[in-house]
């Protein structure tokens, strides 16, 4: 079965915009798709390298005569590397989900209120899932 053709103009016609924004165009949709795919490719490459480094850190055992400071430094490095790898995995997943939403026609709708996220916001940050108002509300609740 042949892969489905990417019809940017058809997708653009379905994407929501805020009242103050111009409708999406085919080239703008292609740009978002290309940005997401480039992010996914770059992050996967970076993830492979980071996982290799993490594997070395996890396999690194304490050598005899090592003091507690060296042991603590190595433990901190492992924790930071693990957090970095997990963050990258999350970014890959978010980018893949955004690409899927773009292809399925659900891209651009806020997950909380259903209103348009905003074309400008999505062009700057295509992984966005919330409109600016809901994102600000969420951030205030975290503080």
- CATH number for the domain including 45? 1.20.120.910
In a domain, 57, yes or no: yes
Length of the chain as a residue count: 143
In a domain, 3, yes or no: no
In the chain the first and final C-alpha atoms are separated, in Å, by: 50
81 pLDDT more than 50: yes
88-96: which pairs have CB atoms within 8 A and are 24 or more residues apart?
Answer: 88/43, 88/46, 88/47, 88/50, 89/47, 91/39, 91/43, 91/127, 92/40, 92/43, 92/44, 92/47, 94/127, 94/129, 95/36, 95/39, 95/40, 95/43, 95/126, 95/127, 96/40
Q: What global pTM score does this model have?
A: 0.79
Return mean pLDDT, the chain.
Answer: 87
Q: In which domain, by residue range, is 21 found?
A: 8-142
30 pLDDT more than 60: yes
Q: CA-to-CA distance for 127 and 28, rounded, in angstroms?
A: 15
Q: CA-to-CA distance for 73 and 69, rounded, in angstroms?
A: 6
In a domain, 31, yes or no: yes
Question: Which residue do the tokens 């409708």 mark?
Answer: 23
In a domain, 100, yes or no: yes
In a domain, 2, yes or no: no
Q: How many domains does the chain have?
A: 1
Which are the contacts of 91, defined by CB distance < 8 A and separation ≥ 6? 39, 43, 127
Band of residue 51 on the pLDDT scale cut at 50, 70, 90: confident
């Amino acid at each position: 079965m042949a892969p489905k053709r990417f019809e940017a103009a058809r997708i653009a016609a379905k994407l929501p915009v805020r009242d103050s924004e111009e409708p999406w165009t085919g080239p703008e949709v292609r740009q978002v798709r290309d940005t997401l795919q480039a992010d996914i490719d770059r992050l996967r490459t970076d993830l492979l390298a980071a996982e290799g480094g993490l594997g070395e850190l996890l396999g690194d055992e304490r050598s005899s005569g090592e003091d507690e400071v060296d042991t603590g430094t190595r433990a901190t490095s492992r924790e930071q590397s693990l957090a970095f790898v997990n963050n990258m995995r999350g970014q890959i997943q978010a980018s893949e989900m955004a690409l899927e939403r773009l292809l399925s026609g659900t891209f651009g709708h806020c997950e909380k209120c259903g209103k348009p996220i905003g074309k400008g916001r999505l062009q700057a940050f295509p992984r966005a899932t919330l409109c600016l108002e809901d994102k600000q509300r969420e951030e205030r609740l975290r503080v």
